[in-house]
Amino acid sequence: MAIQESTEREWIFYPSLGAYEALRKVICERPPLNEWRPKEVRFPEGTPSHLKTELKPSDVGNAFEPAVWAYELCSYLDLIKKKFGSPVAEKTSEHILVLSGFDKTLESRLPILFKAVEAAIATHDPASSPQFADNPSAQFHLTLAGSILYVSDWPKERKAPLLMTLAQCLDVGKYLAESAFLGELEKARRTVDSIQWSSAPGPFERQLQRKVGNPLFPPSDRKPTDAQVISARVSDLRNTAEFLRRYRLHVQEAMAWKDKMLNLGQVSDFLYRSFDLMESCAVLGNYFSPEMEVLKAAADASKGALAAAVPDAAANEQLAKYESLVVFQCSTPMIIARTLEELGTATNEEWIRSVFSEDLETIRESGVYAASIGLDLLQDATSNVEVAVRDGMWPDFAKKKLDAFSIGIQEGARMYEANETTGSKPTSGMRNATKRFFRRFS
């Protein structure tokens, strides 16, 4: 949340956090911000027929994304300016521009689009569009669309046909942005210019949160700097954008297949892409629970279709094993492992410190993971906890953590021994084996 409640039950606005949450909400198109996309393209008279065929609503919506996002953020900044004044709005804008570095294209275009909005406000002449005299909002957004198209690099022949549709999308976008942000900002009573943690962090910010005042980590790591928090958020946004790109294509594919007959190969591929996206989604954290629910529903539908078409016990068993592997890959211990790998700090010691910063069930699960692949990390864990106790961790609390890890190790050791005895093949080959099986029926 951009607005956080202090111990005095006073709601406070933090510009840095507000910028992050607003930018994330906009690019993720959290409801109602997902309702601006055009359902049709309104072509003026004289538009070439080939453009009417080429410019579909989905493609036009994708082309409008940066412009609408920029305008929604401008609307958010305008609300802040009215609530707290220009300095706070400018500070929030600075943070938005820094965080936009997660995407180099957006980073270069966002300042230009902000300037286009300012130019439209400064130059708008109501007399220029007398046909909209009874609708000032539509009249201004027509001017704004022209300003944005002027600085865009779209082909000249497409600018005029898209003017009206862009104006409508911008008009709707402003309304939605005010609906999304106004209620939250109205709660705030004052503003504080300091870094504040997100209540729904991505994996990189979460890793920094684990370290705050935590005796499991070296003293130099226990107080992350503002620059580290901003860098973590940029990395989280970068992963978010990549996930959303793949996720939206996946959803579009599902919508395109509606009421069509698919062969088993197509269904199988779609199922495994759903599983892959579930892993990426889990890493990004609870903020993406709506997307996770969609992916689970897609996977369940695909599984049902495959089970009905191929009632083969061996295939179903392989699929169940792979699904279990996906669930495990979505677990906190594995999310931490992949995060540390991206950070370049994927050592046993750093992983132990991180998982021991979580709840007891996660610590137990981590012990299962380590021992099930033959890792003996109990001594490493004990050494880390002993240092943490010397640095201030309560001994009883430390013992509970080690006991949970030990229980998990015992469970994982039994799994490892069973696999060695039965000669089970590594699960890494499950996906390809199962895909080959279903492709035989394509």
The predicted pLDDT at position 439 comes to: 39
Q: Looking at the structure, do residues 150 and 213 belong to the same domain, yes or no?
A: no
Helix-strand-coil split of the chain, %, nearest 5: 75, 0, 25
Mean pLDDT of 40-48: 87
Q: Looking at the structure, do residues 232 and 167 belong to the same domain, yes or no?
A: no
Q: Looking at the structure, do residues 187 and 208 belong to the same domain, yes or no?
A: no
| DSSP string for 137-185 | HHHHHHHHHHHHHHH--S-HHHHHHHHHHHHHHHHHHHHHHHHHHHHHH
pLDDT at 162 over 60: yes
Mean pLDDT of 149-154: 92
Mean pLDDT of 157-175: 94
Mean pLDDT of 136-141: 92
The 10s digit of each residue's pLDDT in 169-209 is 999 999 999 999 999 899 999 999 999 999 999 999 999 99
Q: Looking at the structure, do residues 144 and 233 belong to the same domain, yes or no?
A: no
Q: Looking at the structure, do residues 208 and 182 belong to the same domain, yes or no?
A: no
Least confident of 186-195, 212-221, 249-258, 330-339: 249-258
Residue 94 falls inside a structural domain: yes
The percentage of the chain sitting over the pLDDT mark of 70, rounded to a whole number, equals 93
Domain span at residue 291 reads 203-442
The predicted pLDDT at position 5 comes to: 52
Q: Looking at the structure, do residues 95 and 153 belong to the same domain, yes or no?
A: yes
Q: Looking at the structure, do residues 96 and 161 belong to the same domain, yes or no?
A: yes
* Count of structural domains within the chain: 2
Residue 238 falls inside a structural domain: yes
Residue 11 falls inside a structural domain: yes
pLDDT at 309 over 80: no
Residue 196 falls inside a structural domain: no
362 C-beta neighbours (distance < 10 Å), count: 19
2: confidence class by pLDDT, cuts 50, 70, 90: low
Q: Looking at the structure, do residues 21 and 83 belong to the same domain, yes or no?
A: yes
The predicted pLDDT at position 433 comes to: 39
Tokens representing 5 are: 């409640």
218: confidence class by pLDDT, cuts 50, 70, 90: very high
d(CA 81, CA 182): 12
The predicted pLDDT at position 426 comes to: 45
Domain boundary among 191, 211, 235: 191
Q: Looking at the structure, do residues 67 and 130 belong to the same domain, yes or no?
A: yes
Which is higher by pLDDT, 263 or 44? Answer: 44
pLDDT at 438 over 70: no
Q: Looking at the structure, do residues 156 and 10 belong to the same domain, yes or no?
A: yes
Which is higher by pLDDT, 1 or 128? Answer: 128
Domain boundary among 160, 191, 222: 191
Residue 405 falls inside a structural domain: yes
What pTM did the predictor assign? 0.89
The 10s digit of each residue's pLDDT in 81-105 is 999 999 999 999 999 999 999 999 9
Residue 137 falls inside a structural domain: yes
Domain boundary among 191, 218, 233: 191
Q: Looking at the structure, do residues 154 and 238 belong to the same domain, yes or no?
A: no
Residue 197 falls inside a structural domain: no
Residue 198 falls inside a structural domain: no
Q: Looking at the structure, do residues 152 and 209 belong to the same domain, yes or no?
A: no
